Amino acid sequence: MDLLSLVFCVLLEALAVYCQQGAEDRIVGGYAPVPHSIKYIVSVQTTNRQHFCGGFLISQFWVITAAHCNIGVEKMLVVAGDYSLSVYEGTEQEVLPQFLLPHPQYNYQKNNYDIMLIKLKSPVYLNSYVSVVLLPRQDSAIPVGTMCRVSGWGYTSPTGGPLPSTLRTVMLPITSSAACNSTSSFNGRITENMICAGYNLGGMDACQGDSGGPLVCDGRVYGVVSWGIGCAEAQFPGVYTAVSKVRSWIDSTIYSYYSKCKTL
Ligand code: ARG
């Protein structure tokens, strides 16, 4: 290696280190996980590879995301095994959706039943970068105060700015629905199909771009990132679709697909 190349390499290395440091302060109050340690998460992208929502794998053929992430089956692409969206890591698996099944009772004005099943055209391969996650049983309750993990590629600051390119994650406690629904908080807008998670003082939360992503408690996805008021604000925790309230819909929908062999 000649001197010029050496100097160039040293500069590149310095730049890489510098860029990684920039990556540390991503997330509203969270941190970057060990790369590929959160294997069930997917990035839901436009067909020209713009990330716009999160999601998670429940089997090789099925992904769950938020119903408000529905931009049309022809416009969507699901990427599993990703960590940095801007770097080709060789671990990514890109699959096209075959069809979308938003919850039939989804109400976009009230954000009620904000959940959607995505049937993939081809299976993702499960390996050390890609895995599935368990769901809670129908109507199982998750105690207030349980610490849960939410992850995503959404905004790292409530004021927006550029989307982060690496995955980020944060642990949040489940808050009581009564407090979340009180006049000093969401004032009656929390239905029984929603759960809230976050701190009273704010500071940590999901944000725009994290929608559809998983809130995992005790190894199961109890919540799907759905909505909020701003991000990480005091008194306003994040609002998640309560997966335990729609578990039987998920099961019966997938079951009827396989039993009738129709495309629903
Ligand atoms: N609706 C947002 C999205 O589409 C997610 C908002 C979550 N907000 C929050 N404060 N937890 O990405």
C-alpha of residue 39 to centroid of ligand 1, in Å:
21
Same domain, yes or no: 92 and 73: yes
pLDDT at 164: 72
Nearest-atom number in ligand 1 for the CA of 68 is 4
Same domain, yes or no: 58 and 73: yes
Instruction: Give the CATH number for residue 75.
Output: 2.40.10.10
Residue 205 Cβ inside 6 Å of ligand 1? The answer reads: yes
C-alpha of residue 239 to centroid of ligand 1, in Å:
8
Same domain, yes or no: 239 and 154: yes
Same domain, yes or no: 159 and 124: no
- Determine, yes or no, domain membership for 172: yes
What positions carry a catalytic annotation? 68, 114, 211
C-alpha of residue 261 to centroid of ligand 1, in Å:
35
Provide the pLDDT confidence category of residue 263 given band limits of 50, 70 and 90. low
Nearest-atom number in ligand 1 for the CA of 52 is 12
- Determine, yes or no, domain membership for 211: yes
CA end-to-end span of the chain = 61
C-alpha of residue 163 to centroid of ligand 1, in Å:
13
The answer to whether residue 231 scores a pLDDT higher than 60 is yes
Condensed to tens digits (0 to 9), the pLDDT of residues 23-70 reads 333 469 999 999 999 999 999 999 999 999 999 999 999 999 999 999
- Determine, yes or no, domain membership for 19: no
Same domain, yes or no: 121 and 77: yes
Nearest CA-CA partner of 115 in 101, 129, 125, 128? 101
Residue 236 Cβ inside 6 Å of ligand 1? The answer reads: no
Q: Poorest-confidence range of 8-22, 133-147, 199-213? A: 8-22
Distance CA(186)–CA(239), nearest Å, equals 10
Same domain, yes or no: 231 and 163: yes
Residue 211 Cβ inside 6 Å of ligand 1? The answer reads: yes
What predicted TM-score, i.e. pTM, was given to this entire model? 0.88
Query: Total domain count for the chain?
Result: 2
Same domain, yes or no: 227 and 166: yes
**Across-strand partners of 172?**
148
pLDDT > 70: what percent of the chain? 88
Same domain, yes or no: 223 and 166: yes
The answer to whether residue 13 scores a pLDDT higher than 80 is no
**b or e along 134-148 (b: 16 or more beta carbons within 10 Å of the residue's beta carbon)?**
ebbeeeeebeeeeeb
CA atoms within 13 A on the CB side of 93: 24
pLDDT at 16: 42
Which of 163, 180, 227 to mutate for ligand 1's pocket (most ligand atoms within 8 Å of CB)?
A: 227
Residue 207 Cβ inside 6 Å of ligand 1? The answer reads: yes
Same domain, yes or no: 232 and 251: no
Same domain, yes or no: 254 and 237: no
pLDDT at 8: 43
The H or E element that residue 44 is part of is strand 41-46
Q: Which residue segment(s) compose the domain that 78 sits in?
A: 41-132+247-260
Mean pLDDT of 61-90: 97
Distance CA(153)–CA(101), nearest Å, equals 23
Nearest CA-CA partner of 94 in 109, 80, 112? 80
pLDDT at 159: 83
The answer to whether residue 152 scores a pLDDT higher than 90 is yes
